[in-house]
Amino acid sequence: MDLVISLPRIPAIGETVLGGKSYMVFGGKGANQAVASIRAGCDTLFITKVGNDLFGENMKSHFEIEGFRTDLILTDEKEPTGIAQIFVSEKGENSIAVAPGANMKLMPEDIEPFADLIKNSKVVLLQLETPIETVAYIADMAHKHDVKLILNPAPAQKLSEDLLKKVWLISPNESEASLLTGIDVKDAASAEKAAQRLLEMGVDNIIITMGENGSLLFGTNGFELFEAFKEKAVDTTAAGDVFNGTLAVAVTNEKSLQEAIRFASAAAAISVTREGAQPSIPTLIEIDNYLNKVK
């Protein structure tokens, strides 16, 4: 659950800034990505874990309304539902602190009963708000069954080469790419070096997202720069998750990576013009209309 406060600016350490409105919004990186995927028209299965508390019950009801299977929304009896405290500035910038709670109790043994769902998927999308051993377990399963694995390596952490070799596509932002490779990513040239390092570590395809500066696609055929669609940002909280969720949809629908990036970039551009995480996520009709408008 995202607990959001709108502020004139993000507070510095030790500083108190009087803000505007506060509100609760359904969030979580995995949930945001899954909602982006299902709203974009994809047959989406979302496996997650919440706490046995009011937030958890609210989220289960919300996920059911979105169209997810409720038997895949697991409950931990000891840990509370994960929460994020989000500050959003007038410029649309954000600062986020996360208490993962039940998210970090989603273990491989929880996934095992649903193994056939993973093995028979076209695409599996993962991020790092769940335990790394669970990520590795799913990656191994996807790799063995030739399922395309997209990994959004956020929140940022170091990853083993054994895991990276099982990733079909990785989608770090600049800071995440820097941590993964040890290369300071600050422009297209340094991003290319970081991507080359990730290719050497075994990843097939790399998309480095750079916010308003667009995205860089790297693969064995070289690299390509994609400009971002220009929109005035109100709240960028879920933009990266929207990008990843809709990218997975386009890949599932067998679009080229170039087409997938354009589709995902449009969805992300729409999302930054709206407040909140999941409330900002567009539908397929909205994405298609946007793309028709910007042709």
Q: Where are the beta strands (DSSP E) in 46-183?
A: 48-51, 73-76, 83-88, 94-99, 123-127, 148-152, 169-170
Cα 236 to Cα 86: distance, rounded to the nearest angstrom: 11
**Is-catalytic flag, 241?**
yes
Half-sphere exposure of 67 (CA within 13 A, CB side): 12
Residue 40 — φ and ψ, nearest 5°? -85, 10
Catalytic-labelled residue, pool 2, 140, 241, 288: 241
Cα 111 to Cα 129: distance, rounded to the nearest angstrom: 15
Tokens in use for 191? 């991003």
Cα 209 to Cα 150: distance, rounded to the nearest angstrom: 14
Contact 141, 161 (CB under 8 A): no
Tokens in use for 139? 């990656």
Cα 269 to Cα 294: distance, rounded to the nearest angstrom: 11
Residue 108 — φ and ψ, nearest 5°? -55, -35
Three-class SS state of 75: strand
Three-class SS state of 81: coil
Q: CA-CA-CA-CA torsion for 135, 139, 142, 145, nearest 10 degrees?
A: -140
Question: Omega into 155 within 30° of 0, i.e. cis?
Answer: yes
Burial of 133 (0-12, 13-18, 19+ CB in 10 A): exposed
Amino acid at 261: I
Residues taking part in catalysis:
241
